[in-house]
Each structure stands twice: as C-alpha cells, then as structure tokens.
Structure 1
Amino acid sequence: MPDVRANGIDLRYETVGDPDDPALLLIMGLGAQLIDWPAEFVSALASRGFHVVLFDNRDAGLSTSFDELGVPDVRAILGGDPSTVPYLLGDLAADAAGLLKELGIARAHVVGASMGGMIAQQLTIDHPDLVASLCSIMSTTGDRTVGRPTPEAAAALMRPRAESREEILAGAVATSRIIGSPGYPASDEWLRQRAAAKLDRSFRPEGTQRQYAAILASPDRTAGLRSVSVPTLVIHGEADPLIDVSGGRATADAVPGAELLVIPGMGHDLPQALHATVVDAIAANAARA
C-alpha cells in the first residue's frame, strides 16, 4: 500500500482492479480505516468493471495525523464554540480531491459510507468536475433535525476511552453489536477478528475525536446538494440506530433525481448478505452516468 502527497498531507491508499476500468473511489467513515471496507465487497466492485481506490482519511489508519492540534472540546463545540475544531469536512473532501488528482484520475464514481458519505457529498458539491456519480450510504445531510442516533447508539459512540487491548476489543464488539444490522447479525468472533485487525494496523482515538469535531462543526449541506447534477444513489438501513433513516431520506430529497434504496433489517454496517444488493445498486447508478 503506497502513500501519496495530496492537499499537503500523506494519504495511504490501495487500488483493486484493472487501472483501465472506470475509477471508483471509496470513502470510509468516522475513525474507520480503508480495511473497514470488506475485502469481498471491494472485490465484487472490481469484478463489475471498476478500478477501486480506497484510502485512509486524515487522522485515521496510516494517513497523516494531526496530533499536534490536540483534542477538541466537543462539549464547547456543541455549545456553539468552534475554536477547538481542527478542520472541517470540506478539508477531508479536499484530501479526496487531491488524491484523485495525484493519481491522475480525471473523474471517479464516488461512494461514501457514514462520515464518508458526508465527505462524498461535500466532494461532489465542491469539486463536481471530479465526480461521475455519487452514492451516499448510511449518511445524512448535516441538518441536525434528521439522522439522529438513538440514545443507546449515541452512548456507544461516546463511551470512555479504553486502555488495554482487551477493553478496546470488547468495546468495539459491543459497539458493533449496538449499531449493526439486526436483520443480519454477525458473530462475536467475526466482529472481534475485524476489531483486532484494525487495532493491529492503527489505533488513533484522538484522531477520531478530531474527525467527530469536523462533523459537528461543518455546515448543513442541503442547499449545496440541490446543485448536484450527477446520478445519485442514497442507500440506508431502515434499522440504522446511529444515523436514523431520516438522514438518508433527507439526502435523497435534497438531490434532484436521486434514487433512494432503503433496506429492511440493515443497520449501520455492510453485512455480507447485502453485498450483492449494494454492489448491484452502485453499478446501476454508475451506469446512469
């Protein structure tokens, strides 16, 4: 996995598939790494004729960290004081744009999940020339009246920082169990294996807090989404407890001509049983371009 210098920082990225195929950029969510995209899901996209590009966002995985900026004061941010916010979602979108440009990709189909969906939306708004089609998965518009978490999911997101390896893995499994798909439950063993793989690759809880601050401080994208003209698909789990399905509905309502796919039993993850459904929908949306 190489690094590329983009937007003034180093981004760790990986590609899968034939470089001669149309590019498809995958953008992951809060505190997530490029390995959070299931390998089978990425391979399925490549088999559908896409050159898949996936990367670690800033402050996650093996991309540039911003530890020198310290930990943001989330309570103050929620109270209206953004002075400790290190960067905004627009900066993460600029990172993605810089990555595409450095890789020599003129246009890409863009797919984002959760915070990655927010970044994908902002990328399409700010850099429309780089985006061939947009797919926003389990995300929202930035309108604080939609896409709100359940109290249990919010508490899982804000759980105290774990210190030992065992506490970190147990907390990751517990969180996945709370926000995951009730209709497609994963085993504790599988969840623990994935959490261990992430922990062994990188563990940056303060970076996650800075990314969360970016979400909180970034403006509502609804007005900007009304200017999006590329084929757009919005996918959301009907049972998503972390970002309520109202966030997906609002996203689809904001983008002219957007298609909305609400999946019963799906929560805030990409269960293997739904890979074919999601990949087919992404491919169909890209074909509209």
Structure 2
Amino acid sequence: MLTAADPPSGEAMAHANGIDICYQSMGDPGAPTILLIMGLGMQLISWPDAFCAGLVDSGFRVIRFDNRDAGHSTRIAWGQRPRLLLAIARGVVGLRVRSPYRLSDMADDALGLLDVLRVERAHLVGVSMGGMIAQCVAARHAQRLLSLTSIMSASGNWRVACGRPAVLWQLMRRPERPDDPASQLDHLMHLFAVIGSPAFQTDREELRRELARSISRAHYPTGLYQQLLAIIASGDRRRELAKIRAPTLVIHGADDPLVPVAAGRDTAQHIPGARLQIIEGMGHDLPRAVQELLLKAIVRHCRDASRISAIP
C-alpha cells in the first residue's frame, strides 16, 4: 500500500480500516454531520466548494474525503493489471470477478473515518460509486445513519445499470498521451462532454480549471480501474438494499448516459420506503444548476430525517 504525499492545506489524514484517508471537515463540529462520498476515480475536491458551503450554511458539518485509490488516500498495490472487459463479461453473467477490494471494504473505510472523527451518526450522501458505498454502510450499519441520499447510483443489477456502449468505452480508454497532463485534461474534458447534462449548461472554462486542479492534485488512473473492478466484483446488491432502514432519498437524472435512470428507479424500488426524485435533463455530472437542485433536496431530506430521529 502506498499513500500520496502530505495533504494540501486545509485537509488532514486519518488512519482507519488499515489505510490512510485524506479528508476535509467544514462547519461546526457540533452540528449534524453530512458525510459526502465521491464517485469513480474522483477526489474529495470533486464535491464543489460552493455546494459544500451551501450545506454548511444550512447548519450542517460537512466531511468530504478521498476514497482509497484516489487523491491523497492510500493507493492499493495489487500487482495485477485490471482486465476490465473480461471482468464486465464475467460480472454480467454472474461469475466471480477478482479484484483488490470490494465496495464493502470502501464502506468500512467511510465508517472508519467516522469512528476516528468520533461521529456516532451521520447523514450519508453518495454520488455514483459513492452512492453504492453509502448503500453498503446503510445496509450493514443501520445504527450509524441519520439518513441516506443516493445520487446517480445503482444496485448492481446489470439489467438496468449498463450505460451506452460509447460512453463506457470513453470511460475505460486512456488519454492519447497518458503521461502528459495536457492530454489527460483533454481526455477528461471529452468524457464530461459525453456524460454531461443536456438541459443544464456547463461552464466549460470552469470545468477545465477544476479538472486541471484534480490532475495537479493527484492524478492516478490505476485507481479508477481498480475501483471499477470493486464495483463489478461486488455484484448484485438488491438483497442487501432491502435491509436498509434509514430514511432514503434516491436522486437520478432522466438523461444519464452512464448509469441509466432505470438504475435509479431500481435502487429506490429495493430500499424500503425510499423516495425517488428524477431530474429531467440531468446527466452524470454536477453543473451549477444541478448543484442548486441537489442542495435543496438534500437539506430538506436531512432536516426531515433529523426530526424523525429526534422523536422518542
């Protein structure tokens, strides 16, 4: 296992579940906590600063962190080259897929971070793979959750979760010049153009700045492929979702080309009492207008769940 260099200013390291996790805590430590869990290959800074500030201004403590194999958290040395196409083929037909870890291990990372920070119960908000990780925590550790919000995520049911082939190909392909930051940036800009929200305008220059910031902070494509293996190897989790008892909000874009909206409906269907919110014109990204919609929905959901938990 390898851990990246010391975290940037304003961030900290915690040792949990046998690895080092880079995190950032914002807001009043005594306020209800929202743990933000990011998606495939993304870093804690992929949660937009303005979005996090909006949650803090709404009265919450916000914790965002780098998953294992991303950012400045521990990088898992597996010693094998991920064979993604073979893994996908085996996963689709229900065969065992080898991986360095699974979503359950990443869920234990998130829970371990809460332990280190002495947070007994939290609202969990996860996007894409982060939603899957949050679902695992909710299913296995019900007593630690105030609420669950699963965004543009899935249950592991391949029948509804497969994105458009061209999008999946773009996700798995490498930049033209893998070691060149400019080529890496062009590759990511093209990917976000493919998965973006058709009804919500993206500020291309702002997106370019944020992606360049991520590349400069900690670019680690191997981690993305190993995280993808973890998703595939974790298989169909619908039976596990049926164990979730936390108040749950499932949010999905009607025009998501990577994780189809059917996956959001499927997720909500298998979590008892879950509420489904479909956003027309939303894809698989977080442009400013989508952030505003998510902020309102999450704040309302977390406040409602907090009131329910306070009832004797």
Bin for the TM-score computed over the shorter chain: over 0.9
- Name the residue aligned to 1:233: 249
TM-score (norm 2): 0.89
- Name the residue aligned to 1:4: 14
- Counterparts of 2:97 and 2:171 in 1: how far apart (Å)? 22
CA-CA distance at 1:275 after TM superposition: 2.2
Q: How does 1:93-172 map to 2 (within 5 A)?
A: 93-161=107-175, 162-172=178-188
CA-CA distance at 1:108 after TM superposition: 0.3
- Counterparts of 2:304 and 2:243 in 1: how far apart (Å)? 18
Residue 205 (1) aligns with residue 224 (2): no
Deviations 1:156-205 (A, max 9, x none): 11122433111101001000010011111313322211110000000111
Percent of paired sites with the same residue:
43
- Of the three residues 68, 93, 103, the one matched with 1:58 is 68
SS in 2 for 1:4: strand
Per mean C-alpha deviation after superposition, the further-off stretch among 10-19 and 66-75 is 66-75
Letter in 1 for 2:74: T
Deviations 1:4-28 (A, max 9, x none): 0000000000011111100100000
- Counterparts of 1:243 and 1:283 in 2: how far apart (Å)? 24
CA-CA distance at 1:79 after TM superposition: 4.0
Consecutive unaligned residues in structure 2, runs of 5 or more: 1-10, 306-312
CA-CA distance at 1:60 after TM superposition: 0.2
Deviations 1:105-126 (A, max 9, x none): 0000000000000000011111
Q: How does 1:235-274 map to 2 (within 5 A)?
A: 235-274=251-290
SS in 2 for 1:133: strand
- Name the residue aligned to 2:28: 18
- Counterparts of 2:48 and 2:73 in 1: how far apart (Å)? 19
- Counterparts of 1:68 and 1:158 in 2: how far apart (Å)? 19
- Name the residue aligned to 1:33: 43
Per mean C-alpha deviation after superposition, the further-off stretch among 189-198 and 93-102 is 189-198
Deviations 1:15-64 (A, max 9, x none): 11111100100000000000000100000011111100110000000000
C-alpha contact 2:78 2:100 (8 A) present in aligned 1: no
Deviations 1:71-110 (A, max 9, x none): 3222332343756410000000000010001110000000
CA-CA distance at 1:276 after TM superposition: 2.5
C-alpha contact 1:76 1:82 (8 A) present in aligned 2: no
- Name the residue aligned to 2:200: 184
CA-CA distance at 1:68 after TM superposition: 4.5
C-alpha contact 2:253 2:279 (8 A) present in aligned 1: yes
- Counterparts of 1:71 and 1:129 in 2: how far apart (Å)? 38
SS in 2 for 1:145: helix
- Counterparts of 2:79 and 2:133 in 1: how far apart (Å)? 21
SS in 1 for 2:153: coil
TM-score (norm 1): 0.96
- Counterparts of 1:209 and 1:122 in 2: how far apart (Å)? 20
SS in 1 for 2:105: helix
C-alpha contact 2:97 2:233 (8 A) present in aligned 1: no
C-alpha contact 1:4 1:99 (8 A) present in aligned 2: yes
Consecutive unaligned residues in structure 1, runs of 5 or more: none
C-alpha contact 1:73 1:84 (8 A) present in aligned 2: no
- Counterparts of 1:58 and 1:201 in 2: how far apart (Å)? 15
Aligned-CA RMSD value:
1.3
- Name the residue aligned to 1:90: 104
Structure 1 residues 250 and 187, CA, compared in 2 at 3 Å: closer, same or farther? same
